[in-house]
Chain A
Amino acid sequence: MLLIKLFFAFMQVGLFSVGGGYAAIPLIQEQIVNIHKLMTLEEFSDLITVAEMTPGPISINSATFVGMRIAGIPGVLLCTLGCIIPSFCICLILAHFYYKYRTVSGVQIVLGSLRPAVVSLIASAGASILMLGLFQAELGEIVLSNLRIVELVIFVVALVILRKYKVSAIAIILGSGVVGTLVYVLLGAVA
């Protein structure tokens, strides 16, 4: 019974979290901590910390974490499944209509005006991550003297490499992690 409850709890998370990762956090808290009391608030904040430190969407991470702690591997599978079923159904229908009608000129005109906005949304996400990387702070709380030179150099070098050579993005991301950590270890900044 518990597994079924978990399944439907995460299905609701999947169905109602519109607008990406952080929108899902209060929903998960509502379902898991408040309604079903499957975790304490403290465990939940640990979960968010871990989810932020690891790759993957936050709702999938939460579903896996909660599922594992409560019911092991079957829990993981069922929670994750619940979480993605709404996405799967909705996106499949939209994909079908998108590919059926996307060449219609009217649809092209409407989609055309969405594209510049999407470019800006991606740019904005990039700018936020850059500021977080360079200053360890959000835009409003930036102190210029906190600029981290190591991160700045990594960013510039990585961007130059990406623009000049055909290097995979994954290599750049992992490479910057390895090189940066080594530099900080050599500087004695990692305790």
Chain B
Amino acid sequence: MKKDYSKLWTLFKSMFVLSACTFGGGFVIVSLMKKRYVEELKWLEEDEMLDVTAITQSVPGPLPVNASVIIGYRMAGIVGSLVAIGGTILPPMVIISVISLFYNQFRTNPYIATALEVMRAGVAAVIFDVVINLAGNVVKTKRVLYIAMMIIAFIATYLLDVSAMLIILVCLGIGLIDLVVTLKNNKKKGAV
């Protein structure tokens, strides 16, 4: 893994902008990170971004911070992690510090309330755009197991409210079984 300090400023700037504009939960920022780091900057592979998402969802702490640590580490080691975290936490720190001084005016402002409501439609469009690409690539693997897992996982999490953590654990179990089966098949092939 090569460390590239020349990318630190771009890393900081990207994290800062993503964090400043991300309303909604952790998966919103993951969609934005995928667009930025995989599609625009081409720093990460798509699979890598999905792996990072699975890891960040499975460990304690805020998801955007966790993802920053890993992506930063990937780009420039521990220094990269620190730079990425800085970019991610500065916007909420500054915004909340300012708002905490006059949060009653902020909370009751009708323009802010309306903007925040309509922005959800834009956020949803961004997530759907990312999901269309990701789901398309899962379908392209032509593995029935993966396509079925994707559909079942969606039903479980969206319609049945199963926790993300549990879904990842179950899929981890399926992955381990898949590994054992593959190893056995390889052994058989080797014997023949």
Contacts of B58 in A (CB 8 A): 18
Give residues 158-181 of A contacting B (CB, 8 Å). 158-159, 162-163, 168-170, 172-181
Q: Would A20 and B26 count as touching, CB distance under 8 A? A: yes
Per DSSP, chain B at the interface is helix
Q: Would A60 and B25 count as touching, CB distance under 8 A? A: no
> C-beta contact mask, B58-77 vs A, less than 8 Å → 1, else 0?
11111111100110011000
Contacts of B134 in A (CB 8 A): 119, 122
CB distance from A120 to the nearest CB of B (A): 4
Q: A146 at the A/B interface (Cβ < 8 Å)? A: no
Count chain A residues whose beta carbon lies closer than 8 angstroms to a beta carbon of B. 100
Tell me whether A158 and B125 are in contact in the complex, defined as CB-CB below 8 angstroms, given that A60-B62, A68-B96 are known contacts.
yes
Q: Can you list 13 residue pairs at the A/B interface with Cβ under 8 Å?
A: A22-B25, A55-B92, A59-B62, A73-B97, A106-B183, A117-B150, A117-B153, A118-B54, A118-B57, A154-B125, A158-B126, A159-B128, A173-B21
B residues neighboring A (CB under 8 Å): 1, 17-28, 30-32, 35-36, 40, 47-48, 50-66, 69-70, 73-74, 78, 81, 85, 89, 91-93, 95-97, 99-101, 103, 106-107, 110-132, 134-135, 138, 145-147, 149-151, 153-154, 156-159, 163-165, 167-168, 171-172, 174-176, 178-179, 182-183
Ranked 9 nearest A-B pairs via Cβ: A56-B92, A180-B118, A176-B122, A87-B61, A126-B127, A57-B62, A133-B120, A113-B175, A158-B125
